[in-house]
Structure 1
Amino acid sequence: MTQYTTPNRTIEASNGSTYAYRRYGKPGTIPVLFFQHFRGNLDNWDPTLVDDIAQQHEVILFDASGVALSKGPVPTTFQEFGRDALAFIGALELTKVNLFGFSIGGFTAQEVALQAPHLVHRIILAGTGPQGGRDMHGWTEQARSHAMKDVQGAEDILYLFFSPSYASQGKGQEFVGRIFTRTEDRDASITLATRDAQAAAIIDWGIQDFSKLSRLTSIQAPTLVANGDNDIMVPTVNSYLLAGHLPHATLKIYPDANHGFLFQYPHEFAAEVTTFLAA
């Protein structure tokens, strides 16, 4: 199985929500649970990145409640997204997980680690930031025009996720091709109502309040923090804040890269993740 072929599954949780997910990879390992970005669904995960990680670990991709094929109310804060994720984890009867949070998925992963530390083995926080961090309270006008567009296209992905350089844009074109290769059993698109609920939660999370950084000291699991050197969605300075306040953090910054550095360097970042999880 690969991200191109693994089937969509569903499971109902105790909170009444039904979750769409994909699960494959190396059995008998602590699974890596992936938390997706703003407006993302199962098909927005880069097959190259996830398949590389799946060679050494079981991987689980899922849609939060009310997102894409999942059914139920969309959470309105990232504390609620954390509880929602725990309902999904409980439905699968998982007792230990690795968390991989990208962008707003990293906000949710932090909440899962704070709300259920006993479940968490290791954490990967990619292109994300802490609650109350720096320059996170809304996007620039140009970034917002791409992020909030009712119907997004490849040009929006290339602007928001990749740097303007020729090399980065070329890698972005390759990424777009990969995520649209799968034609059967694709996930549903994100509704505008879900987009707006996620956007409101982002605004709330991003209200600058450096006192919130003290929460990070309670996350004791080893954590890999990574980003591009010029993230325009969650400014890169917030990766430094995470690494500086998490007790057991390692920081990796990728050059000539924006928010989607992990899709620009999929093999390299998968290798970094695999090494980190094996330590």
Structure 2
Amino acid sequence: MSTYATIKTQTVKAADGVTYAYRSLGSDADARPLVLLQHFRGNLDNWDPALVDALARGRRVITFDNRGVGATSGSTPHTVAAMAEGAVEFITALGLTRVDLLGFSLGSFVAQEIALLRPSLVNRIVLASSAPQGAPGMHGWAPEVIEAVGGKVPSPEGYVSIFFTSAEVGQTVAGRVFGSRTEGHDVQTTWATRLAQYDAVMHWGIPNHAQLERLQGITQPVYVANGDSDPMILPRYSHLLAGLLPNAEVKIYPDAAHGFLFQHHEEFAADVATFLDK
């Protein structure tokens, strides 16, 4: 039986000329495919296999590297809007016409843009550790956060300190995320990708109340979720986001930080399945 830790990476060439690397787990016979959009500096290997396996019970789950990330060709865009265009190109190249989206952190920004850019493509949306564009206080991350996750060389200790509320929990989950796959690893993300993605984060966070009005254009049902102790994207932004969206529900997971969806993978996957199956 295939698991996320054992499935092979595939590629597809899109109309934009980019060759996208992706992994696909589960069957799409019974439900719409669920496309996952990754966090800052993350690649295919940075998804928790236990979470993806749980999400793939009863549906097809697709992870991918966007333009210029990991094993995907091209260069990493400097704006969330351009990242959304790349994601649409990838989804279209797979021949999919209607999908659900699960965006995590930076990926959740991209998911919002996809829903605005190509609403007919999107059925339901899950936004994990998210914030709306233009929200006050989102113009870049706190110094201790970007120091922990934005260094020239990625730091395992920094990852644990931001994604989890305790080192013990973080090390357990990190061991599962990075230790489950024994072969066929993805290409590591580059410093150029880090710089471009943080440019996109900064642009997204420029304070602008008018940008908040754009959320009225996302009419699909949305599930907004976060950990109660997320230092990267504070939980108050989840409540702000859910309040601005026309059709949203919100849940904050206890004793959890930015990586709440990995820490509480079974509960989160069950909640997502319930939401997507409505």
* TM superposition outliers: structure 1 runs of 4+ over 3 Å: none
Instruction: Please give the alpha-carbon distance, in whole angstroms, between the structure 2 residues aligned to 1:204 and 1:48.
Output: 33
Once the two structures are superposed, what CA deviation does each residue of 1:165-191 show, in whole Å capped at 9, x if it has no partner? xxx432211211111221200101010
The residue aligned with 1:133 is: 135
The residue aligned with 2:114 is: 112
Contact persistence 1:135–1:235 (CA under 8 A)? no
The residue aligned with 1:172 is: 170
**What is the one-letter code of the residue matched to 2:167?**
Q
When structure 1 is superposed on structure 2, of 149-158 and 72-81 the one drifting more is: 149-158
| 1:35-74 aligned within 5 A | 35-74=37-76
**What is the one-letter code of the residue matched to 2:271?**
E
Instruction: Please give the alpha-carbon distance, in whole angstroms, between the structure 2 residues aligned to 1:81 and 1:45.
Output: 19
Contact persistence 1:134–1:237 (CA under 8 A)? no
The residue aligned with 2:156 is: 154
The residue aligned with 2:216 is: 217
Once the two structures are superposed, what CA deviation does each residue of 1:213-250 show, in whole Å capped at 9, x if it has no partner? 11111101100000011221112111111100111101
When structure 1 is superposed on structure 2, of 153-162 and 103-112 the one drifting more is: 153-162
Instruction: Please give the alpha-carbon distance, in whole angstroms, between the structure 1 residues aligned to 2:101 and 2:136.
Output: 23
| 1:186-225 aligned within 5 A | 186-225=185-224
**What is the one-letter code of the residue matched to 1:117?**
P
**What is the one-letter code of the residue matched to 1:224?**
Y
- Give the TM-score, by structure 1 length: 0.96
- Residues 7 and 72 from structure 1, CA distance in 2 versus in 1: closer, same or farther, beyond 3 angstroms? same
Contact persistence 1:224–1:250 (CA under 8 A)? yes
- Give the TM-score, by structure 2 length: 0.97
1:110 shift after superposition: 0.4
Structure 1 unpaired stretches of 5+: none
| 1:87-102 aligned within 5 A | 87-102=89-104
1:255 shift after superposition: 1.2
* 2:229 matches 1:227: no
Instruction: Please give the alpha-carbon distance, in whole angstroms, between the structure 1 residues aligned to 2:218 and 2:161.
Output: 33
1:264 shift after superposition: 1.1
1:63 shift after superposition: 0.3
Aligned residue pairs, count: 275
The residue aligned with 2:4 is: 3
The residue aligned with 2:253 is: 254
Instruction: Please give the alpha-carbon distance, in whole angstroms, between the structure 1 residues aligned to 2:148 and 2:205.
Output: 19
Contact persistence 1:103–1:126 (CA under 8 A)? yes
Contact persistence 1:175–1:264 (CA under 8 A)? yes
When structure 1 is superposed on structure 2, of 128-137 and 265-274 the one drifting more is: 128-137
**What is the one-letter code of the residue matched to 1:32?**
L
1:270 shift after superposition: 0.5
Instruction: Please give the alpha-carbon distance, in whole angstroms, between the structure 2 residues aligned to 1:204 and 1:62.
Output: 23
Instruction: Please give the alpha-carbon distance, in whole angstroms, between the structure 1 residues aligned to 2:276 and 2:126.
Output: 9
Once the two structures are superposed, what CA deviation does each residue of 1:116-145 show, in whole Å capped at 9, x if it has no partner? 111111000000111011321112211111
**What is the one-letter code of the residue matched to 1:153?**
S
1:73 shift after superposition: 2.1
Contact persistence 1:68–1:189 (CA under 8 A)? yes
Instruction: Please give the alpha-carbon distance, in whole angstroms, between the structure 2 residues aligned to 1:212 and 1:95.
Output: 28
- Quote the sequence identity (%): 49
Instruction: Please give the alpha-carbon distance, in whole angstroms, between the structure 2 residues aligned to 1:18 and 1:77.
Output: 20
When structure 1 is superposed on structure 2, of 107-116 and 139-148 the one drifting more is: 139-148
Taking only aligned residues, the RMSD between alpha carbons, in angstroms, comes to 1.0
Instruction: Please give the alpha-carbon distance, in whole angstroms, between the structure 2 residues aligned to 1:208 and 1:143.
Output: 19
